[in-house]
Amino acid sequence: MFTAQTSAGIDYRERPGSGPALVLLHGIGSNADSFAELVPLLPPDRQVVAWNAPGYGASAPLGPDWPVAADYADALEAFLDRLGLDRVTLVGHSLGTLMGAAFAAARPARVERL
């Protein structure tokens, strides 16, 4: 089951699992729910987390008026820290790919796959 959660102003969806976490990053004009049909097709043992990026869905916006990918990468790091996720596989779509790439470039030790 893909359930709604909130952590420090970030709205997200999660499917529990014991395997390594898959973190889904949506694009512009989208949100975490855009992955709802994909989640049942993913390996059933994997934890799946899809955030509503800052400023999307019910998530609080970032401080800068015009945030860049690095701002989202910083927010993603704080989000993953709060969830206790150290090393993850990132799956991005559109803007989510830029967020994931910025995160992976700055923090390669935290990314299993992109």
Whichever domain contains 109, its CATH number is: 3.40.50.1820
Q: Which domain range does residue 98 map to?
A: 3-113
Output the pLDDT for position 63: 87
Provide the number of structural domains found in the chain.
Answer: 1
Output the pLDDT for position 22: 98
pLDDT in tens, 17-61: 998 899 999 999 999 999 999 999 999 999 999 999 999 999 999
Position 64, amino acid = P
Nearest residue to 53 (alpha-carbon basis) of 37, 38, 42, 68: 68
DSSP designation for 57? T
Output the pLDDT for position 110: 98
pTM exceeds cut of 0.75: yes
pLDDT over 90 (residue 81): yes
Q: Region 91-113: what's the mean pLDDT?
A: 97
